[in-house]
């Protein structure tokens, strides 16, 4: 006798998480462009704002789907948290890029090395997250993702700390210090929010175990 | 045949949420007073502290009612989050007003225009929230509230960003910049906390849909 | 007839919470050492980093136990939140101590009095928390703990506020102000995180009531 597995549609939640995470990869790459000589910083900021709007729309599509789906594949509260935290990361990436533009920081000879280290950590976190989202469907091979994402957060944290030591060393005037610290705070918050995404995935996987 | 709807007392939760939100309206109006010429800033700060104590008491009344109510009208965890987040908003409003007083900022010729824009956004968020709380009883007409509350948060965010650009422009000395930034951070956190309240209401409504 | 109560092992969760909280007591004492004349600040910072690693490991032991335990004694989500928030406190204690070291702040004649007041509040919160964790087993005598822990958070908050007033008064140069503010922010975040722990305990107790 053939027994049929009850078909349970996922209603596109995994695709939406993946699209949201892919926007984060694009966002991190745009931030990396800011280090290039002669970059058009206003255009980078505008592209980040567009990406951020797109991520907002994906988040709202997710919230609406929670409403309209009778049996979502994950707890409604977890879907909500995952969707909104992916959106949080984008908010911080956009804020960092826009502040570099608004504060005119690319007029400096060079941004401190630690800012590039933070952007590197973010880029790796974004790529890991985008690769992990489709695996939520099967809940397989997620453990390495969240461990590595947490490790990168620690690395970002260390870069942030050393950046502040440099900023407070007297190398820059007080207002430039304040401007760069605002940018660094957004980058560090993005790093944290990626870890938060990884923790939500861990919680979801723990429930399924 | 008449069928009776099972009567389910709400035990006063909606009244408590409404009172807490009305305190936020009063708090936002007190902050707006700080812009008036010749204002007694110490008295405004003291009235904010009193309001904040009252909001604390309302929050604890809500927590006790969660304990003593057999079948609360909403999930216990949601009641807890809504009560504590309304209280968070008040903490930030009080902090902003008290810092203006403690730092002697009203001695400046004028506060930057963007601070007034932030207070305007907060006042509108407070009024929308106070009007929305009684509607939790029927879950009707809440959607516009949370959309508008999120929109105002975006507006506040933009005002905050432009305020920092102005503060870092060299118009003020470094210590004045730091003082105004602390005030602005509290106003922006209040704006965020209002959005957080709206998100909790959205989550509650989503569960009921 | 004898009726047996079903034996329900707690699988060591309470021991792990207690160990994590005891680390916080040690951490707060290390921070208090920074005020002593001739202290070896590098060694204090290194011991804080070790403690922080140990707390990380305890947190991950807790998460693994959530996975491997069939019927944990508390909601899985609550165990997770309590474990991770205890770990958050340690992150802030470690950060505060390490920043004092990295910024060379012990070279100042003395740290402002309000920083010591913050460390005092933290020490008391740590001791109360470590004493409360084993009482989760019976859920008895927890109410006083969370009330007192919240009261200490208010005290810490007031000390933090007065510290900023002093820092912005012109007594220190702008870069020293920024350094001490970073340290103060971490201490205040630790104070907040202790309150967060107390709120989680309150939520757990409310569910059991």
Note whether residue B4 is domain-resident.
Answer: no
pLDDT at C4: 53
DSSP sequence for B83-98: HHHHHHHHHHHHHHHH
More confident residue, B147 or B106: B147
Six-digit token string for C192: 């907040």
CA distance B163 to B158: 9
For residue range C24-42, what is the model confidence (pLDDT) as tens digits?
999 999 999 987 878 899 9
CATH of the domain at B191: 1.20.58.220
For chain A, what percent of residues have pLDDT higher than 70?
95
pLDDT category, B35, cuts 50, 70, 90?
confident
Chains in contact with A, counting 3 or more C-beta pairs less than 8 Å apart as contact: B, C
CA distance A192 to C27: 23
Note whether residue A130 is domain-resident.
Answer: yes
Helix (H, G, I), strand (E, B) or coil at B52: helix
Task: State the average pLDDT over residues C123-150.
Answer: 95
Structural domains in chain A (count): 1
Six-digit token string for A74: 């994950």
Q: Which residue of C has its CA nearest to A204?
A: C77
Six-digit token string for C146: 């969370």
Note whether residue B5 is domain-resident.
Answer: no
Please check whether residue C170 touches B, CB under 8 A.
yes
Cα of A23 to nearest chain B Cα, Å: 20
Note whether residue A4 is domain-resident.
Answer: no
Task: State the average pLDDT over residues C152-173.
Answer: 95
Cα of B102 to nearest chain A Cα, Å: 22
Cα of B63 to nearest chain C Cα, Å: 9
Please check whether residue C172 touches A, CB under 8 A.
no
pLDDT at B10: 67
Note whether residue B3 is domain-resident.
Answer: no
For residue range B36-78, what is the model confidence (pLDDT) as tens digits?
878 899 999 999 999 999 999 999 999 889 878 888 999 988 9
Identify the helix (H) or strand (E) that includes residue C197: helix C174-208
Note whether residue C173 is domain-resident.
Answer: yes
Cα of B209 to nearest chain A Cα, Å: 7
For residue range C59-78, what is the model confidence (pLDDT) as tens digits?
999 988 987 888 899 998 89
pLDDT category, C79, cuts 50, 70, 90?
very high
For residue range A28-48, what is the model confidence (pLDDT) as tens digits?
999 999 878 788 999 999 999
Across the interface, whether the CB atoms of C80 and A203 are under 8 A apart is answered yes
Across the interface, whether the CB atoms of A174 and C175 are under 8 A apart is answered yes
Evaluate whether C48 touches C142 at the Cβ level (below 8 Å): no
Note whether residue C118 is domain-resident.
Answer: yes
Evaluate whether A142 touches A195 at the Cβ level (below 8 Å): no
Note whether residue C93 is domain-resident.
Answer: yes
Whether the pLDDT of residue B8 is over 80: the answer is no
CA distance B154 to C41: 44
Could you tell me the residue range of the domain that residue B80 belongs to?
A: 13-208
> What length is written for chain A?
209
Whether the pLDDT of residue A143 is over 70: the answer is yes
Chains in contact with C, counting 3 or more C-beta pairs less than 8 Å apart as contact: A, B
Task: State the average pLDDT over residues C68-89.
Answer: 93
pLDDT at C203: 86
Please check whether residue A67 touches B, CB under 8 A.
yes
Q: Which of B179, C179, C34 is nearest to A169 (CA)?
A: C179
CA distance C55 to C25: 12
């Amino acid at each position: 006798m053939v027994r049929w597995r009850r078909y349970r549609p996922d209603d596109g939640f995994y695709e939406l998480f993946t699209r949201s995470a892919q926007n984060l990869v694009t966002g991190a790459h745009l931030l990396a462009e800011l280090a290039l000589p002669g970059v058009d910083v206003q255009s980078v900021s505008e592209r980040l704002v567009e990406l951020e709007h797109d991520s907002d729309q994906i988040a709202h599509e997710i919230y609406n789907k929670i409403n309209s789906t009778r049996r979502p594949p994950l707890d409604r509260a977890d879907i909500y948290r995952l969707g909104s935290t992916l959106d949080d990361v984008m908010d911080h990436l956009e804020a960092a890029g826009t502040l570099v533009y608004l504060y005119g920081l690319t007029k400096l000879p060079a941004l401190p090395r630690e800012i590039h280290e933070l952007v590197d950590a973010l880029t790796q976190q974004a790529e890991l997250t985008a690769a992990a989202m489709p695996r939520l469907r099967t809940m397989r091979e997620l453990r390495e993702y969240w461990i590595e994402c947490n490790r990168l957060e620690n690395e970002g944290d260390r870069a942030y700390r050393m950046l502040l030591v440099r900023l407070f060393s007297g190398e820059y005037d007080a207002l430039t210090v304040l401007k760069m610290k605002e940018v660094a705070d957004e980058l560090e918050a993005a790093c944290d929010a990626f870890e938060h995404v990884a923790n939500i995935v861990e919680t979801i996987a723990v429930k399924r175990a």
